[in-house]
Amino acid sequence: MDELKVVSVRLVEEQPWKSRSQLNTPAEVAKFLSEALSSYDRELFCCLNMSTKTQVINMNIISMGTLNAALIHPREVFKSAILSNANSVILAHNHPSWNCTPSEEDRNITRRLEGCGRLLGIEILDHIITGEPGVYYSFREKGILPAKDTEIHMAADRAVRSR
């Protein structure tokens, strides 16, 4: 008789990246991530898993790519969110060129992941692209992701109305 291997899937914690401040607005998220991602010379795509109170549970590095691309698949993005019992996520990646303008691929993957998240019941609060220090692109602030009533959404909505 053949053996059937039994496997288990576990969330493994790594060395934390510390944030000294609350991450309640797209600007605060971008500042924290910009500091964390600025040392990489290639694209790094990550996901902040959020609780029902929009508090950061953890961060998962989804993909480390090349100078101008990273391979992203919904299965990998939502794996850590499901294992972390996340209610929502914030997607982020860096542009080593320091130009935060999203590519067509960035727009397409954001729309695709937003749809997948809807199916899973895990909302995408934002997708942030970091570039040169202090500069970022927020899909929420630009109105590409639909607005909701969480603190980060309301802050993004206020930023859009004030422009």
pLDDT tens track for 63-117: 886 767 788 899 999 999 999 999 999 999 988 888 889 999 999 999 999 999 9
Decide if 39 is inside a domain: no
CATH number at residue 101: 3.40.140.10
Residue 155's pLDDT is 52
Residue 139's pLDDT is 94
The overall average pLDDT reported for the chain is: 82
pTM value is: 0.79
What is the 8-class DSSP label of residue 50? E
Long-range contacts of 102-109 (CB under 8 A, 24+ apart): 102/129, 102/137, 102/139, 105/69, 107/144, 109/72
Tell me: pLDDT of 131 over 70: yes
Q: Which two tokens stand for residue 133?
A: 């220090």
Decide if 115 is inside a domain: yes
pLDDT confidence of 5, banded at 50, 70, 90? Answer: low
Q: Which residues span the domain enclosing 60? A: 44-122+132-146
CA distances from residue 14 to 39, 58, 139 in whole angstroms, order as listed:
18, 10, 28
Are 34 and 134 contacting, i.e. CB atoms less than 8 angstroms apart?
A: yes
How far does the chain reach from its first CA to its final CA, in angstroms?
Answer: 69
Compare 2 and 119 and report the one with higher pLDDT: 119
> Of the given ranges (9-13, 96-100, 121-125), which has the lowest mean pLDDT?
9-13
Tell me: pLDDT of 157 over 70: no
What's the full length of the chain, in residues?
Answer: 163
The number of folded domains in the chain is 1
Decide if 32 is inside a domain: no
